[in-house]
C-alpha cells in the first residue's frame, strides 16, 4: 500500500530525463562542443536520432512543448529543408550508425505526407543506418487519416504514439483539445490497417475539473483500443514558464491528495489489466520490448522518457532538440529563426548545454538506475569511476528523511525504493542531484 505524504508528494523536483537537468544548461556550451562530440563518436557506434517538429495544427492549453501554429504553408517546407541541411552537417562530423529514429513535437503529422517522406528518405541516405531502423512518431489523432497512416507506413514507421490525454469532453474543453473517442478509434484503425501495429497512448492526470471517475473512464476507454504502451503523465502547471497555460484556471486543478489518488488509481487499473509498470509513469504489455528491457536491466531514461533505444548517443535535429553524448548535453536554438540562421551559415545549431564531468556521469547513472530499476548499487557505480562508495555519502544523508518514512531502504551501499516509496521515485533521485539545494525551481510536483 502507498499513502499520500503532503510534504513529499507536493515537493517540486525535476523529471530527470537527463543529468544534469536542462535547468543547468548554459550558453557557454555551444556548437563547437557539439561538433567535437559528434566527431568523437567511434566509427559504427549505434546512435539514435531525435527529430523535433515544432508545429501543430491547433495549440492545446496544457502543452509545455516547444511548438506553435503552422502559419503559412511554406513555413513547413522551409523547416524541412533546414532540418535536412542540419542532418547533412551532422553526418559530416559523425561516423556513427543510426539504429532508430524518433519524430516528436509538436505534432510531426503537421507535416504533409510528402514532406515527412522526403525527410525520412534524406536521413536514411545521409547517415549510415541499419537495414531496418525502428522509426517512431508522435501523432495528433485529430489530424490523422487513412492516407496519412499509409504514407507513414511507406516511410518505414514502425511505432506510433497518440496524444490522447483524456476522453472526458468537459476536460478536453478546459485544456483546449476537443477530441472525441470516435476520432481516436478511427486513428487507431487507420494505423493498424496500414500495418503500424505498435501503438502507445499518452494519458494525463491532474488536469482541470478531472475527477477520479473521469480518469477511470478514460483508462477504461483507452484499454478497449488495446495499445501496447501507455504513458501516464501528471500535468505540470507552470504558467510562468509556459504562458499558454494561463488559459487554464488553476483553481480547477485537483489538489495534491487527489493527484496522488489519480496516480495510484492509474497504477492499479493498468497493472490489473496486465500491463507491466515501467519506471514511475510508463506501462507496457509484458511482451513489449520496453517491458523486456525493464525486466533485464536495459531500460534507459532520456528526453523521450523511459526507452529501450539501443543507441549509445542521441543526435537531436530541429529547433530546441537536445543531443545527448556521454560527456555532453547540448540543445539547439529554440526559435526557428535563430535555428535556421545558424544552419544556413554552415554551423551546427547547438547554443546551450553542459559538459558532463565524471562526477555528473556517476550521479546521472545512479539517478537513472534508481528511476529505471527501483534500486541502485552505489558501490558498483562508484567503482566504475574509480571512486569509493563514500562519494555518495552526502546523497545518502539527504535520504534519511525518506528512509525514516519507509520510502527507501539501504542494505550496505545498495539503495532500494520500497513498495510505499514507489510513487516517490523522483524525490529519492533528487538526493543525488548536486544542483538541488532545497530550492524548488520551476519543476513539476513529485507526484
Arithmetic mean of pLDDT, 419-442: 85
Could you give the CA distance from residue 137 to residue 266 in angstroms, rounded to a whole number? 24
Could you give the CA distance from residue 255 to residue 264 in angstroms, rounded to a whole number? 14
Could you give the CA distance from residue 255 to residue 260 in angstroms, rounded to a whole number? 9
pLDDT in tens, 58-84: 899 999 888 888 888 899 999 999 999
Higher pLDDT, 67 or 370: 370
Residue 54 clears pLDDT 80, i.e. is over it: yes
Residue 193 clears pLDDT 80, i.e. is over it: yes
Arithmetic mean of pLDDT, 259-268: 97
Question: CB–CB of 432/399 below 8 Å?
Answer: no
* DSSP 8-state assignment for residue 235: P
Task: Please give the pLDDT value at position 437.
Answer: 62
186 exposure class (CB count in 10 Å sphere: 0-12, 13-18, 19+): middle
Task: Please give the pLDDT value at position 444.
Answer: 80
pLDDT in tens, 115-168: 999 999 999 999 999 988 999 999 999 999 999 999 999 999 999 999 999 999
State which H helix or E strand residue 159 sits in.
Answer: strand 159-165
Could you give the CA distance from residue 379 to residue 355 in angstroms, rounded to a whole number? 24
* DSSP 8-state assignment for residue 26: B
Arithmetic mean of pLDDT, 332-355: 97
| Planar angle of CA 268, 183, 172, nearest 5 degrees | 60
Could you give the CA distance from residue 189 to residue 27 in angstroms, rounded to a whole number? 45
Q: Tell me if residue 424 falls in helix, strand or coil.
A: helix
% of the chain beyond a pLDDT of 90? 92
Ramachandran area for residue 136 (φ above 0: left; ψ -120 to 50: alpha; else beta)? beta
| Distances from the Cα of 235 to the Cα of 21, 132, 366, 438, angstroms | 19, 35, 26, 22
Task: Please give the pLDDT value at position 439.
Answer: 47
Task: Please give the pLDDT value at position 393.
Answer: 95
Could you give the CA distance from residue 387 to residue 33 in angstroms, rounded to a whole number? 27
Could you give the CA distance from residue 198 to residue 102 in angstroms, rounded to a whole number? 14
Task: Please give the pLDDT value at position 214.
Answer: 98
Task: Please give the pLDDT value at position 436.
Answer: 80
Task: Please give the pLDDT value at position 5.
Answer: 96
Residue 172 clears pLDDT 70, i.e. is over it: yes
Question: CB–CB of 365/394 below 8 Å?
Answer: no
Q: For residue 400, what is its C-alpha cell?
A: 534519511
pLDDT in tens, 39-53: 999 999 999 999 999
Question: CB–CB of 48/100 below 8 Å?
Answer: yes
Q: Which residues contact 266 (CB under 8 A, 6 or more apart)?
A: 203, 205, 215, 219, 232
Residue 94 clears pLDDT 60, i.e. is over it: yes
Task: Please give the pLDDT value at position 189.
Answer: 98
Task: Please give the pLDDT value at position 442.
Answer: 64
Higher pLDDT, 335 or 443: 335
Could you give the CA distance from residue 191 to residue 384 in angstroms, rounded to a whole number? 44
Arithmetic mean of pLDDT, 273-290: 97
Residue 285 clears pLDDT 90, i.e. is over it: yes
pLDDT in tens, 207-222: 999 999 999 999 999 9
Arithmetic mean of pLDDT, 227-232: 98
Q: For residue 224, what is its C-alpha cell?
A: 478497449
Arithmetic mean of pLDDT, 2-21: 94
Task: Please give the pLDDT value at position 292.
Answer: 97
Q: Tell me if residue 231 falls in helix, strand or coil.
A: strand
Amino acid at each position: 500500500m502507498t499513502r499520500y505524504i503532503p510534504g513529499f508528494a507536493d515537493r517540486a523536483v525535476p523529471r530527470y530525463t537527463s543529468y544534469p537537468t536542462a535547468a543547468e544548461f548554459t550558453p557557454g556550451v555551444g556548437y563547437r562542443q557539439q561538433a567535437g562530440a559528434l566527431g568523437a563518436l567511434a566509427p559504427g557506434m549505434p546512435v539514435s536520432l531525435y527529430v523535433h517538429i515544432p508545429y501543430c495544427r491547433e495549440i492545446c492549453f496544457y502543452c509545455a512543448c516547444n511548438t506553435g501554429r503552422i502559419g503559412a504553408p511554406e513555413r513547413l517546407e522551409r523547416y524541412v529543408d533546414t532540418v535536412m541541411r542540419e542532418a547533412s552537417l551532422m553526418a559530416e562530423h559523425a561516423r556513427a550508425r543510426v539504429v532508430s529514429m524518433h519524430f516528436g513535437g509538436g505534432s510531426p503529422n503537421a507535416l504533409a505526407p510528402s514532406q515527412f517522406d522526403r525527410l525520412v528518405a534524406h536521413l536514411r541516405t545521409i547517415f549510415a543506418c541499419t537495414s531496418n531502423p525502428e522509426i517512431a512518431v508522435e501523432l495528433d489523432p485529430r489530424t490523422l487519416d487513412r492516407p496519412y497512416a499509409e504514407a507513414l507506413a511507406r516511410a518505414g514507421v514502425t511505432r506510433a504514439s497518440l496524444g490522447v490525454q483524456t476522453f472526458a469532453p468537459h476536460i478536453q474543453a478546459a485544456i483546449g483539445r476537443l477530441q472525441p473517442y470516435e476520432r481516436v478509434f478511427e486513428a487507431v484503425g487507420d494505423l493498424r490497417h496500414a500495418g503500424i501495429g505498435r501503438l502507445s497512448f499518452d494519458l494525463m492526470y491532474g488536469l482541470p475539473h478531472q475527477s477520479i471517475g473521469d480518469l477511470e473512464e478514460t483508462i477504461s476507454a483507452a484499454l478497449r483500443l488495446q495499445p501496447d504502451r501507455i504513458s501516464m503523465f501528471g500535468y505540470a502547471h507552470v504558467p510562468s514558464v509556459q504562458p499558454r497555460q494561463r488559459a487554464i484556471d488553476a483553481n480547477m486543478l485537483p489538489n495534491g491528495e487527489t493527484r496522488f489518488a489519480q496516480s495510484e488509481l492509474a497504477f492499479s487499473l493498468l497493472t490489473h489489466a496486465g500491463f507491466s509498470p515501467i519506471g514511475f509513469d510508463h506501462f507496457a504489455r509484458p511482451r513489449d520490448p520496453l517491458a523486456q528491457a525493464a525486466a533485464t536491466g536495459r531500460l534507459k531514461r532520456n528526453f523521450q522518457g523511459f526507452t529501450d533505444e539501443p543507441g549509445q548517443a542521441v543526435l537531436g535535429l530541429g529547433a530546441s532538440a537536445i543531443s545527448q553524448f556521454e560527456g555532453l548535453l547540448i540543445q539547439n536554438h529554440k526559435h526557428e529563426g535563430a535555428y535556421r540562421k545558424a544552419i544556413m551559415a554552415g554551423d551546427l545549431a547547438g547554443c546551450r548545454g553542459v559538459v558532463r564531468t565524471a562526477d555528473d556521469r556517476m550521479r546521472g547513472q545512479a539517478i537513472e538506475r534508481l528511476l529505471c530499476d527501483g534500486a541502485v548499487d552505489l558501490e558498483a557505480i562508484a567503482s566504475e569511476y574509480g571512486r569509493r562508495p563514500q562519494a555518495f555519502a552526502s546523497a545518502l544523508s539527504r535520504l534519511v528523511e525518506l528512509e525514516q518514512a519507509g520510502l527507501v531502504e539501504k542494505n550496505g551501499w545498495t539503495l532500494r525504493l520500497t513498495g510505499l516509496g514507489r510513487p516517490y521515485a523522483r524525490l529519492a533521485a533528487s538526493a543525488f542531484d548536486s544542483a538541488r539545494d532545497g530550492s524548488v525551481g520551476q519543476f513539476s510536483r513529485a507526484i
